[in-house]
A and B are shown apart, each in its own frame.
Chain A
Amino acid sequence: MKKIISTFLILCIAFSGLFLATKLLEPKYMSGILEGAMIGEYYDDPTDHNVVFIGDCELYENISPVYLWENYGINSYIRGSAQQLIWQSYYLAEETIKREHPDIIVFNVLSMKYNEPQNEAYNRMSIDGMRWSSSKVNNIKASMTEEERFVDYVFPLLRYHSRWSDLNSDDFKYLFHRDKVSFNGYYMRVDVKPAEDVPEGKPLADYQFGDNAYTYLNKLTKLCKDNDVQLILVKAPTLYPYWYPQWDEQIADFASSNNLSYINFLEYQDEMGIDWQTDTYDGGLHLNLAGAEKMSNFFGKLLVEEYMVPDRRGEQKLENYWAGVIERYNSEIERQNRNLELYGSVHEPDEK
């Protein structure tokens, strides 16, 4: 009996040590690069969403779910991550549909340009935050670059062990919890950097999207149809990376042949009222808050009028939930504006 207890104790201590080391060494994404923390935040939202946006920075920096809620009563969430590849979007959509049943999934098509795994750091930011499920397993398998190993996802300590020399106060502060960095998936920036001298796209040798990308677009379409979820393909209005007419044509053809909606917001810049002198914070790559709210206004109206997304304002549970998000949203606007005044940047001086 004594031996059993001591073995049990030893195992407990050993696994606790490994658990603690993993927690300490994994990146927290609480300052600087916040994008890595966004995928994981989704699980904290207890509400059922009518619209879920899935895609890369062209969604999570360009649409404000808070604005959609406040002005149209749309309960939405953005499951976005940096350079989210289409197979990652597919598995996030698959997981989302398993967890809830949104009326609409909005997918940004820029990632169609990638046909193969790209970058380990971006993979991590898209995948690490997911909870374990078959969707996550398949997402990892589809996303791994040649240098990556599946086991490193199962045991993050094997990947992040070398962070021991980069540990800072955040790693201890956020050992067991995280602050919210997004607003239902929206990454906020209030600063302005006008779009000037945006380069034209360089001619490409081949404009055809890859087979792998199409495979996952087909899978995403089938997934939504099979589950009675409406899929809307969108291209955000941002100026760069360049969206080639040949790409646009392929997506339009795909949408048409699959009976899907495709909205290229680049064509609605004037209707939305986007001013590239004031509505972008990085010279046309992404919209700032002003731009995102303009786009949300335009898209929100479309969602309500053409896609019949219900106005759910008045549902007490949702009101309570959104009150908290709105409070954080407004405080963040204040914080960023204050920092801009004090330091000329939305970041505080010690923020990396």
Chain B
Amino acid sequence: MPFLLLASYAFYFIADPRYLIFIAITTVSTFFAAKAISDKKVSFDVWFKEHKKEYEKEERKALKAKEHAAEKKIFLCCLLFNLGFLAVTKYTNFTIANINNIIGAFGNQGQISFVDLIIPMGISFYTFQSMGYLIDVYNGKFEAQKNLIKFALFVSFFPQLVQGPISRYADLSQTLYEEHRFDWHTVSFGLERILWGFFKKLVIADRILVPVKAIIANTDSYNGFYAFVGAMFYALELYADFTGGIDITIGVAETMGIKVTENFNRPYFSKNIKEYWNRWHITMGTWFTDYIFYPISASQFMMKLSKKSRARLGNNLGKRVPVYLSSFIVWFTTGIWHGASWNFIVWGLGNFVVIMISQELEPFYRWFHSKVNVAGTLGWKVFQIIRTVLIMSSLRMFDCYRDVPLTFKMFGSIFTQSSLSQLSAEVFIGMGITAYDYLVVFIGMLVLVSVSLIQRSGSVREKIATKAAPVRFIIWYGLFMATVIFGAYGIGYSASQFIYNQF
């Protein structure tokens, strides 16, 4: 275990030695705060058990409230300190830019200078992971970890440090701290998962990245139909890149006998946006649900708001107000978590709007299905899947163009400037990759889809493991050679980091 911690810190040190200071501050502050809360809880519980008969019911309540308030102080101090730390490093310049815009709008010349802050790699991931742990300890889900080295390893476990998933302490600690003996089955499964991740990243994501970049960089040339093409290419690139990266993370952990939470469940087969978010970046979605949505929904403010809105707007409409407000906050924070810029905020709120609209349309869907008997048919399922992919790809255009007005313009151009005359093989080749490259991407995509379809009935690796040795060899060696030969890496290709590293 100390070796794993050393490896994790060395990994971080190599990226930038200064990063270590940031992760150490988060680790130490969270460890001691959680320990203080947990120790207080335990000692209070012991004391309370012994002395509760000495107090009346109201006195006992008051004692508990006093104890809770003391814990809350520590909890809030640590939470605000770490989230403040995250906010300062990631959002200071975004805030300054917005203040400058406001100042400029009023005609003032004075501008606040931007500050040169380093943004530690993966700070959003490890801060959220640490805060999730703190909240769970505060809520009494488990006792705090008493060993600083063990806790430091939980925060910094290197395979998941840079792009997640955002693990929960209750899950990761089950395998992180136990003694691991060499097990060929685990190691080989881990290596297979790593290989699959590299296939997705190198063969598909980094190859299709070239036309994606070309389309985004040349909006005058690539508008209309090609803006749509760009959105679809980006959908493929992001999926292959992010899931590939997570496959590598999970695979590396698996080779060491450590189980990291799955982060994807074939999201592009989702039939609606809500389902999509239950299957895409699962650990982030559940984090926001458990640690933001539920606490806000159940807060005293929301309870009061719920009462008031029901009284004024009626039961049906009134009950929606607190839910929608909580959802709005969740999607706003999800957006800004992805990046300190308005495009991410609008992207997050776009998700909120789509989910709310689809919820409001529920009665219409019910009416439609009572009239038209298509629910459950393959055609309807395919329609739902395509619809979800198209909506999510449209929203992701905010991520592509990184500019809100430009995104709206390019999205609009799909409907106003698309024409068949735009279609040309030469234009596709002009995007920087050859026809052979497109063929590789297409075949890679077919492999992805096939694997996803097979996955519906269980682990593909388990299925392959039951095959005869020559078949297993052909599959894994074929995948290895395909990755080595067709991977877009090395000289001639610009090395691209994993997209989610930036968060």
Asked if A pairs with B, the answer is: yes
Name A's B-contacting residues (CB within 8 A).
6, 10, 13-14, 17-18, 21, 25, 120, 147-148, 152, 157-159, 161-162, 164-165
- Residue on A with the closest CB to B433? A165
Binding stretch for chain A, among B77-85, B130-138, B319-327, B485-493: B485-493
Decide if B490 touches A152 in the complex (CB within 8 Å): yes
- Given known A-B contacts A120-B491, A158-B490, A165 and B437 have beta carbons under 8 A apart: yes
Q: Is B434 an interface residue (CB 8 A)?
A: yes
Decide if B486 touches A159 in the complex (CB within 8 Å): no
CA–CA, A334 and B373, complex, Å: 83
What 6 A-B pairs come out closest when comparing CB atoms?
Answer: A165-B436, A161-B485, A164-B485, A162-B492, A147-B491, A10-B473
Could you say which residues of chain A place their CB within 8 Å of the CB of B490?
152, 158-159, 161-162
A161 touches which one: B434, B469, B473, B484 (CB < 8 A)?
Answer: B484
B477 touches which one: A14, A152, A158, A162 (CB < 8 A)?
Answer: A14
CA–CA, A262 and B114, complex, Å: 60
- B474-489 interface bits toward A, Cβ cutoff 8 Å, 1 = contact, 0 = none: 0001000100111111
CA–CA, A6 and B477, complex, Å: 15
Could you say which residues of chain B place their CB within 8 Å of the CB of A161?
484-487, 490
Closest Cβ–Cβ distance, residue A168 to chain B (whole Å): 14
CA–CA, A17 and B436, complex, Å: 22
Could you say which residues of chain A place their CB within 8 Å of the CB of B484?
18, 21, 157-158, 161
Could you say which residues of chain B place their CB within 8 Å of the CB of A25?
485
Could you say which residues of chain B place their CB within 8 Å of the CB of A17?
477, 481
Decide if A164 touches B486 in the complex (CB within 8 Å): yes
Could you say which residues of chain A place their CB within 8 Å of the CB of B487?
161
CA–CA, A207 and B252, complex, Å: 53
CA–CA, A160 and B449, complex, Å: 29
Q: List 11 A-B contacts (CB under 8 A).
A: A14-B477, A17-B477, A17-B481, A18-B484, A148-B491, A152-B490, A157-B485, A161-B485, A161-B490, A165-B434, A165-B437
CA–CA, A147 and B495, complex, Å: 10
CA–CA, A6 and B473, complex, Å: 11
- Given known A-B contacts A159-B491, A162-B492, A21 and B434 have beta carbons under 8 A apart: no
- Given known A-B contacts A6-B469, A120-B491, A159-B490, A21 and B436 have beta carbons under 8 A apart: no
Apart from the given pairs A157-B484, A158-B489, 17 other A-B contacts in the complex at a CB distance below 8 Å: A10-B473, A13-B477, A14-B477, A18-B484, A21-B484, A21-B485, A25-B485, A157-B485, A158-B484, A158-B490, A159-B490, A159-B491, A162-B490, A164-B436, A164-B485, A164-B486, A165-B434
Could you say which residues of chain B place their CB within 8 Å of the CB of A10?
469, 473
Closest Cβ–Cβ distance, residue B438 to chain A (whole Å): 11
CA–CA, A266 and B490, complex, Å: 42
CA–CA, A6 and B469, complex, Å: 9
